[in-house]
Amino acid sequence: MKNLTRRDFLKLSACAFGAALLAGCGGQRLAQMTATPASSAISVAPPSATGTADLILVNGKVITIDARDSIAQAIAIKDGLIQAVGKSDEMRARARASAQIIDLKGKAVTPGLIDTHCHLQVMGMMTEQYLAFLPPDVVSIATLQKKIAEVVAKIPKGKWIQGYYLTVGADGTPHKQDLDKVAPEHPVWIIQQGGHFGAANSAALKIANITASTANPQGGIIERDKSGEPSGVFYNHRAMDLLRRHITLDVKAEPRAYVITPQDAFAACGVTTFQDNNVRGVENIGAYIEVGKQGKMKIRGAINYTLEWPADVNTALNQIERYSSSTMRLAGYKFLIDGQAPTAYCHQAHNGTSWNTTTWDPAMFKRAVRALHDTGLQICVHCVGDAATDLVLDAYAEAMQANPRADPRHRIEHAVITTRDATKRMKDLGVVVGTHPTFIRVGGEGWARLFGEERAKRAMVTREWLENGVHLALGSDAPTTPWYTPQMTLAGAMLRLTLNDRVLGPDQRLTIQEALRAHTLGAAYAMHEEKSKGSIEAGKLADLAVWNQDPYSTADPIATATIAMTFVGGQVVYQG
């Protein structure tokens, strides 16, 4: 497996996800993905026998991800379900007179990829509401200022500028004076792409009436200078909300459009199911449900309602429709108990902004978890620090003891820094870990500086979890990193390369077989859907990805592998 170099990273981060979903798998633009090409390298042949299957895929390398990791040649599909898997001649014999037979010509087929943690609606929203300040154009405060100045020159005074950046390099974090220099008369709000801290200029602070006397909300941090004045930097969502609730933009699209638009890009990468793990507000939940009811889901989706404030508990219990269909459902609930690495809640101090801040009062959080556990749905909690994970495990244990119910499969999301004791507790409680290895690429070097080398080596201990019987699922967490493709996620799990091309925690690297299983069957398990998807077996949904490169081959880097066809329920949703 070829390594992904720093040059590759800069190229991919610039084109993988931008203000208009600039590129899809293999460098294709989103506009190109939405139309099916007139021809395909995969040939279609007439049926040769009479049976009951309506679609047959033959002459392929079928990577089943079943219990034996079986490899087959062909798949028979009927009414959107896998009827049988086996040899090409056996599957041809199952074809009915009107069946379509597709000759794969040796191409690999895997189960459709399942992204258990992304923010698809936000991806759509960012194409209209945020400007992208990304590498290689923006790598320092000076280059950020240059780009903002270009925007200022084109819009009227007083108009909001909202954007996101990945890194400003050694300059650290932009502050209000950095933004004031180029935008003194335009309110500016820019977030770091991870989504848990951002910076405002003086004009924005004035509109939001945030001053030295403004108190920090529970779990949020308004950074202040030596004189006590706000520096312009806000950490964690509750603090960020104090500013961004005042932003006004000329928005043309509505929430349903943001749900629909990114699905083409996901389908083009072989993703057949996603879970949006951060849907805020009744309106946005409603947008997803409406798209599902209208039959406009190209791929399958599930959503988690995010609870940021105590009042959200009542909303979750009484105002959210428990909708469920074959393509869209409310899966459960999402909390955030700490922020990104600078505000990771840890047992020991680190070099970030705060190491002992929780975004919820711990006692209130435990009460909320217990109330939502009682609904019968799943709970997922964002955890970066080790103390955060331990607090969440405590909350799960208490809720499960108070109201035992079969197989809740509550989840820890990210699990960047954890302890060995936590691994044992995850296994004992049946807690699933959903993690996102591309974080290592963008954040690994920063973790080493912030947490120290020893703790950083234990970041995302994927092999430790697997070897100790913890169920593991992989996802992109897009758009909080520059990539939404499962190919980059798989590469991250296998290589664990930082931006400086060093391996962080080499003993935690996964094989392609392990990583692919975690992105298919493991992901299906994380969503309570392993009986219907995640492997290519009789009776399961015909959600499939046909690859242009064999993912099990070492000839090409998995990060840049592309997809030839994607099927959802036996229907082609992408062909390229």
**Residue 252 confidence (pLDDT):** 80
* DSSP strands (E only) in 445-521: 472-474
Residue 157 has pLDDT above 70, yes or no: yes
In this structure, the strands spanning 71-72 and 43-45 are unpaired
Q: Please report, rounded to a whole number, the percentage of residues in the chain having pLDDT higher than 90.
A: 88
Domain shared by 352 and 496, yes or no: yes
Alpha-carbon distance of 126 to 441, in angstroms, equals: 22
Q: Does the pLDDT at position 3 exceed 90?
A: no
Residue 127, sorted as left (phi over 0), alpha (psi -120 to 50) or beta, turns out to be alpha
Per-residue pLDDT for 373 more than 70? Answer: yes
Per-residue model confidence as pLDDT tens digits over 549-573: 999 997 678 999 999 999 999 999 9
Cα–Cα distance between 432 and 527 in angstroms, integer? 10
In-domain check, residue 48: yes
Give the residue-averaged pLDDT of 102-109: 98
Q: Smallest Cα–Cα separation from 275: which of 368, 397, 163, 411?
A: 411
pTM for this model (two decimals): 0.92
Number of domains present in the structure of the chain? 3
pLDDT of the residue at 136: 94
Q: Residue 39's pLDDT is what?
A: 35
Nearest Cα to 85, choosing from 445, 559, 466, 540?
Answer: 540
pLDDT digits (tens, 9 = 90+) for 263-279: 999 999 999 999 999 99
Is 315 among the domain residues? yes
**Same domain, yes or no, for 169 and 221?**
yes
Same-domain pairing of 165 and 305: no
Asked if residue 385 and residue 484 are part of one domain, the reply reads yes
- pLDDT, one tens digit per residue, over 203-213 is 999 999 999 99
Mean pLDDT, residues 544-551 taken together:
97
Average pLDDT of the segment spanning 291-304: 97
Q: Report the distance separating Cα 524 and Cα 522, nearest Å.
A: 5
Same domain, 258 and 220: no
pLDDT in tens, 54-63: 999 999 999 9
Residue 21 predicted with pLDDT over 50 = no
Tokens of 99: 């069946």
Domain contains 33: no
- Given a contact cutoff of 8 angstroms between Cβ atoms, the answer to whether 101 and 92 are in contact is yes
**Residues 461 and 525 placed together within one structural domain of the fold:** yes
CA distance 509 to 494: 5
What tokens does 486 get? 């499962």
Least reliable range by pLDDT among 46-50, 440-444, 533-537: 46-50
Can you give the pLDDT at residue 506?
Answer: 98
Distance CA 357, CA 223 (A): 14
> What is the distance of C-alpha 365 from the center of its chain?
24
Angle at 73 between CA 72 and CA 76, to 5 degrees: 95
Q: Are residues 549 and 430 in the same domain?
A: yes
Q: Is the residue at 12 inside a domain?
A: no
Rounded to 10 degrees, the C-alpha dihedral 180/183/189/195 comes to: -80
pLDDT for 320 equals: 95
CB 359, CB 220: distance < 8 Å? yes
Q: Span 151-173, mean pLDDT?
A: 95
Averaged pLDDT of the chain: 92
> Taking Cα atoms as reference points, which of 423, 366, 334 lies closest to residue 117?
334
> 206 and 341 in one domain?
no
- Summarize the confidence of residues 36-57 as an average pLDDT: 64
Decide if 216 is inside a domain.
yes
pLDDT digits (tens, 9 = 90+) for 379-420: 999 999 999 999 999 999 999 999 999 999 999 999 999 999
CATH number of the structural domain spanning residue 67 = 2.30.40.10
A 10 A CB-CB count for 6 gives 13
Please identify, among 211, 244, 277, the residue that sits at the C-terminal boundary of a domain.
244
Residue 370 tokens, joined: 């217990």
Which has more pLDDT, 481 or 345? 345
Last residue of a domain, one of 244, 262, 281: 244
Confidence grade of residue 46 (pLDDT, cut at 50, 70, 90): low
**What pLDDT, on a 0 to 100 scale, did the predictor assign at position 222?**
98
- CATH number of the domain at 561, please: 3.20.20.140
**Domain range for 308:** 113-119+253-571
Residue 139 and residue 276 in one domain: no
Q: What pLDDT does residue 556 have?
A: 72
Quote the pLDDT of residue 181: 98
259 and 181 both lie in a single domain: no
Q: Of the candidates 244, 277, 300, which is a domain's last residue?
A: 244
pLDDT band at 536 (very low <50, low <70, confident <90, very high): very high
User: Using CA atoms, how far apart are residues 201 and 189, in angstroms rounded to an integer?
Assistant: 7
What confidence category does residue 47 fall into, taking pLDDT thresholds of 50, 70 and 90?
low
pLDDT tens, residue by residue, 165-199: 999 998 899 999 999 999 999 999 999 999 999 99
Burial degree of 158 (CB within 10 A; 0-12, 13-18, 19+): exposed
Q: Does the residue 17 lie in any domain?
A: no
Give residue 435's pLDDT band: very low, low, confident or very high (50, 70, 90).
Answer: very high
361, part of any domain: yes
Within this chain, do residues 469 and 334 fall inside the same structural domain, yes or no?
yes
* Of 555 and 222, more confident: 222
Residue 394 burial (C-beta neighbours within 10 Å; 0-12, 13-18, 19+): middle
215 and 88 in a single domain? The answer is: no
Mean pLDDT of 231-259: 95
Query: For residue 10, is it within any domain?
Result: no
